[in-house]
Amino acid sequence: MCIIVHLMAAAMDQMLATIGRRVRGKRSEKGWAAKELAARSGVSQRFLADVEAGRANISLRKLGAIASALGVELTGLLAEEVVSPERELIDEFLAGRPGEELAIAHRVLSETLGPKRGSLVALLGLRGAGKSTVGPLLATRLGRSFVELDEHIEQAAGLALSEIFAVHGEAYYRRLETTCFGDLLASHPGTVVALSGGVVLNREAFGLVQRHCTSVWLKATPGDHMQRVLDQGDSRPMADRDNAMADLRTLLDTREPLYRQSHVTVDTSRMSVPGVVDSLEFQLRSVR
């Protein structure tokens, strides 16, 4: 009996450590401090610290609140993770590598093991990168249609984006994002589509981008991102945020390694809109 109790305790310790590692990793992906995740999930910072350290006595309700704040399913924090020895070797080899080397590794693996790039052109980047401005012009130049995926998501939900997040939360939005993008791939494979800034954090949807699309990162400076959103009449980025620009820089730093995996990159802060379209047309015809 003592042996069984000991084994059960060891298994529980391992599960708590795994949950803590996953919560910490998801929080880092979003560029959040522990204080922000605690506030969003309604738990104390001390409790969150215990969760991430693998020593908390976790209730499913509190863990569910943390998962919801992170935009993931509860099962994503609880499910057993099986890692092969080969995967562990690869992870060990890549650990600590700078972003530039990770981008090279990704390109090599994609060219060696990945399927051929699809004909759908996926535009990536934060709000204010120029996706809605450049997208229609690029589509016309290429003789294609242009789609904002968020419009399809709103139609599927029967709600505006703001209502989707307010009523159902980010996890629901990400599920719709994956479903609607998959439908778009099947029904309109030749489209130029503008995706959400956070699609790179949606493992399933971003996986579809990497496997089936020619991806384009519309890059911009933090200042341009902020100013373009404000010029559109949206003051929310600055509302009640004394450190809005610092938060934006952190967000860019967190997502940039993922954006950098795109097949094509154009800096919209350094070029005019016609120049961006010209550059994209040339590069897209070259990579196909």
Task: Per-residue pLDDT tens, the chain, 288 aa: give them.
Answer: 444 434 444 556 667 777 778 888 777 777 677 788 888 888 888 888 888 777 766 666 777 778 777 777 766 666 555 556 666 677 777 777 787 787 787 767 755 554 444 579 999 999 888 999 999 999 999 999 999 999 999 999 999 998 999 999 999 999 999 999 999 998 888 899 999 999 999 999 999 999 999 999 999 888 888 887 777 665 554 455 557 778 888 888 889 999 999 999 999 988 899 999 999 998 887 765
The distance in angstroms from the start CA to the end CA of the chain is 64
Q: What is the pLDDT of residue 217?
A: 95
Architecture of the 115-287 domain: 3-Layer(aba) Sandwich (3.40)
- Which strands sit side by side in the sheet containing 146-148, from one edge to the other? 146-148, 192-194, 120-124, 213-219, 264-267
Strand, helix or coil for residue 146 = strand
Please tell me the pTM assigned to this model.
0.60
Domain ranges of the chain: 2-78, 115-287
Strand, helix or coil for residue 194 = strand
Contact criterion met (CB below 8 Å) for 43 and 66: yes
Map tokens 């972003």 to a residue. Answer: 99
Phi, psi of 246, deg, nearest 5 = -65, -40
Q: What is the pLDDT of residue 243?
A: 74
Q: What is the pLDDT of residue 116?
A: 44
Same topology, domains 2-78 and 115-287? Answer is no
Name the fold adopted by 2-78: 434 Repressor (Amino-terminal Domain) (1.10.260)
Q: How many helices (H) and strands (E) does the chain have?
A: 15, 5
Single-letter amino acid, residue 92: E
